[in-house]
A and B are shown apart, each in its own frame.
Chain A
Amino acid sequence: MDITLKVNGTPRAVDVDPRMSLLDLLRERLGLIGAKKGCDHGQCGACTVIIDGRRANACLALAVAVDGSEVTTVEGLAEGDDLHPLQEAFIEHDAFQCGYCTPGQLCSAVGMLGEPGPSAVTGDLVVDPDLTPEEIRERMSGNLCRCGAYVNIVSAIGEAAP
């Protein structure tokens, strides 16, 4: 099936198998290996990308379902040679070891910082909460890291958050 989508600002027209996920489209057809396949079931977050401004698991979206969408992957976060502040902070805080969950953590963090409203750990549901470490941990818990870099991930995001 023919679809068109914008990936990291570039329009792409592809003929896809209707069974193909967005994740496999990125990795196997478009040469964008940044989004990782950790579980293919929406359980680990390694494939997190930003679809039309919202973070999402690329393994749970069929490619045909994102026809016409704008997708940002980890390859699209830096501006040329200038890394995104979150990317810089991840390096500085050693917020990864093997690096396999990292693209998903970064895209998730970018998406998370743009999400207003309370979370499950917010006390006052009416005002937007401060981005405390507890809020970061709660909002980043869809992205597993088996190397156990969580405390460094939280400090990196805390530093890079506007």
Chain B
Amino acid sequence: MNRIEGRVKVTGLATYAAEYPIESVAYAYPVQSLVAKGRVVRVHDAEAREMPGVLAVLSCADPPRLAEDADPELALFQSGDVAYRGQIVAAVVADTYENARAAAAAVRVEYDPDDHDVTLRTGHPGFYRPDVVNPNYPADTVKGDVEAGLAGAAVSVDVTYSTPVLHNNPMEPHAAMAVWDPEGRLLVYDSTQGASPDRDTIAQTLGLPREDVRVVSRHVGGGFGSKGSTRPHAVLAALAARAAGRPVKIALTRHQMFDVTGYRTPTIQRLRLGADAGGRLTAVEHLAYEQTSTLVEFAEQTATPARVMYATPALRTAHRLVRLDVATPSWMRAPGECPGMYALESAMDELACALGMDPVELRVVNDADAEPESGLPFSSRNLVLCLREGARRFGWRDRDPEPGVRREGEWLVGTGVAASTYPARRRPATAFAFVRDDDYVVQVAAADIGTGARTALTRIAAETLGVAPGRVHLELGDSDLPDAPVAGGSMGTSSWGSAVVRACEELKEDGKEGRADTTDEIKGDAKLARHAFGAQFAEVRVSSVTGEIRVPRLLGVFAAGRIVDGKLARSQFIGGMTMGLGMALMEETLTDEEFGGFLRRDLAQYHVPACADVPHVEAVWLDEQDGELNPMGSKGIGEIGIVGTAAAIGNAVHHATGHRVRELPITPGSILSRF
């Protein structure tokens, strides 16, 4: 169905975090560290304090009081220590945006710098094994004898891939507006993927009881993970508003976003695969090397999809981290699965080539009837059907496997395939439903970051109540509503939806109202492997003259349980695939080895796909029945679309040109240098 908030979005009336009309609001503008490691010695702010309209300057010279156990990324101005270039070391509050910006530029910070190390590289002496990787998986797993499996293999590959720093870059820059009331209670309009956890973190950081903090975020201009945890701008807005004695808004600039709103860690991944002559895997080894900061350990679960994908008698996965003088990496769409499946699915293509076997068939013969690492049965697994349906729709049967032989003028043409997967989980949530006049109000502190949550939950409530969607008024995006988990991990609809269904069931029974808390229900879920699967097909054209790579066709076929709403789901899938195209061909943030921090900190240099880059993206899905998920029978769909796209495109580039590029992004330069 059409988005419920469609009308306010197309008329410009939807209010994002920085857009609520508030009387006498002031503006905060951050000052960022110019060194990658060291200490702030002195903050010269006398000139800034004298500038027009300046209300306050915040820095470690006069630390505002925060909780001692605050997340180090949020513990603003608590010490002079600098952990990365771009870290917020001071801020100016002024009556207008122009005055705040000008005064921030006049603040001079003196540093005592140390030598820094910001480069993830093979053989780094600082690599260590984390205790667990996100969200709580073992860092390493071993099953069977990988060396024996490789030694006994008819064909094997040993390949290393790398992926760069990637930035989420939602269209709405992170913003917050903070308003203190006379009783010391705080209202924050924040761009967040979860009002309840954001409220909790802000309260904890400021040392306030959570009843004294309210977070409102009715519309969020994308997040893709970067708004999934509280970011320093929200804390800064609260501190600045307290210091200035009036409401304060802060909207980060696009440049500032690159430094303080998270990013996907770069990865170096080594894959060793062995197979018998029939293509059956004899061994799989997936090693992932990645970075974290000196402040917080963030361990991306990059090698975990190998624990899910293919049947093999020998399987080893391992993660190694190194702490660098960089900002802490964070969540970006399909953390773990996205970079991990790029490498695994590229290696599977290399194995298919080495075997002389069709890459669809290679995946089919290695389909698993139980989760390879855990041995758990799947609640449902329809990877093979996705591959078969995709092959049929894409016209795969007529494909000539020979690489580098299809030429149309200057263009080399090729096709590629890769599999997708993403876990199907849910978390406890609460909801409240009641009758108002002749209609129904359903409340849950969910977030609609563009996923269509408002619409999907309305539909779920209406179906449960047996009424038209128009009679359901769904309220979300406010921490005063019943607590709900973050929009992340493709768990939003399954978590919130479960609570909405239960609340509406109770309302139906009661006639007046219904309240739900799914904590106990979820504790009772059977122990099963729950994952969505998919298959992606790409056609590419590579110019033999310029190295330009075009993607005339992308097709994704997904098996993700029951699809709650076809129109919204298709948008999620094609959106993920479009972001995957960007990952394959253009997205890359460079790390500045000399000065620390990131380079390409804007949208003119960090290229995301534009309209002309995306001529034809098609997503379809199977009718998958799975009674072991949640009351809707749905698996999450926000992330699986980006999983596998880059591998499918990279595999197609190999098919077109005969050249295997193992470093993302695959650019004209990286192709031309091989011709």
Contact = CB atoms under 8 A, between A and B. Distances in A.
Interface of A: 17, 19-20, 24, 27-28, 31-41, 43-44, 46, 73-75, 77-78, 83, 87, 90-92, 94, 96-103, 106, 121, 133-134, 136-138, 140-154
B614 A38 contact: no
B16 A150 contact: no
B451 interface: yes
B608 A94 contact: no
A14 to B, nearest CB: 13
Main secondary structure of the interface of B (DSSP, over half): loop
B611 A154 contact: yes
A91 B10 contact: yes
A52 to B, nearest CB: 20
A78 B169 CA distance: 30
- From B99, B568, B578, residue with most partner A Cβ within 10 Å: B578
A38 B577 CA distance: 22
A160 to B, nearest CB: 12
Contacts of A136: 611
Given A44-B171, A151-B617, A97 B603 contact: no
- From A19, A40, A99, A103, residue with most partner B Cβ within 10 Å: A99
A39 B2 CA distance: 29
Interface residues of B, number: 61
A83 B611 contact: no
B574 interface: yes
B9 A148 contact: no
A118 to B, nearest CB: 15
A111 to B, nearest CB: 15
A151 B619 CA distance: 11
Contacts of A78: 11
B3 A91 contact: yes
A137 B615 contact: yes
Interface of B: 2-3, 5-7, 9-16, 19, 21, 96-99, 102, 169-173, 219-222, 224, 251, 253-254, 449-452, 567-568, 570-572, 574-579, 602-604, 608-617
B220 A98 contact: yes
Given A134-B615, A150-B614, A41 B604 contact: yes
Nearest to A104: B171
Contacts of B602: 39, 41, 43
B10 A101 contact: no
Q: Which 4 residue pairs of A and B lie closest in terms of their CB atoms, listed nearest first?
A: A34-B12, A98-B450, A148-B578, A100-B221
Contact of B10 (A17, A41, A87, A121): A87
B608 A144 contact: yes
A38 B612 CA distance: 20
Nearest to B576: A148
B254 A41 contact: yes
A94 B567 CA distance: 7
Contacts of B5: 99
Given A34-B11, A97-B451, A97-B571, A148 B604 contact: no
A148 B97 contact: no
A100 B96 contact: no
Contacts of B224: 146
A152 B614 CA distance: 11
A43 B265 CA distance: 25
A83 B10 contact: yes
B469 to A, nearest CB: 15
A36 B611 contact: no
Contacts of A31: 21
A120 to B, nearest CB: 9
A35 B254 CA distance: 16
A95 B451 CA distance: 13
A123 B122 CA distance: 49
Given A99-B221, A144-B171, A39 B254 contact: yes
- From A78, A102, A147, residue with most partner B Cβ within 10 Å: A147
Contacts of B612: 121, 137-138, 141
Contacts of B9: 96, 99, 102
- From B6, B98, B254, residue with most partner A Cβ within 10 Å: B6
Contact of A74 (B7, B10, B572, B578): B10
A161 B219 CA distance: 29
Nearest to A41: B602
A140 to B, nearest CB: 5
Nearest to B603: A43
Contacts of A74: 10-12
Contacts of B102: 19
Given A96-B9, A99-B5, A36 B615 contact: no
Given A140-B611, A141-B610, A148 B579 contact: yes
Contacts of B221: 36, 98-100
- From B11, B102, B572, residue with most partner A Cβ within 10 Å: B11
A103 B15 CA distance: 13
Given A46-B171, A100-B171, A148 B254 contact: no
B574 A151 contact: yes
Nearest to A92: B2
A146 B577 contact: no
A94 B611 contact: no
9 contacts: A19-B98, A28-B97, A31-B21, A34-B13, A75-B12, A78-B11, A91-B6, A148-B579, A154-B611
Contacts of A90: 6, 10
Given A99-B221, A100-B221, A152-B571, A33 B19 contact: yes
Given A96-B9, A150-B609, A40 B253 contact: yes
Nearest to B169: A146
B575 A149 contact: yes
B575 A44 contact: no
Contact of A37 (B251, B452, B571, B609): B251
Contacts of B21: 31
A19 to B, nearest CB: 4
A145 to B, nearest CB: 7
A7 B47 CA distance: 38
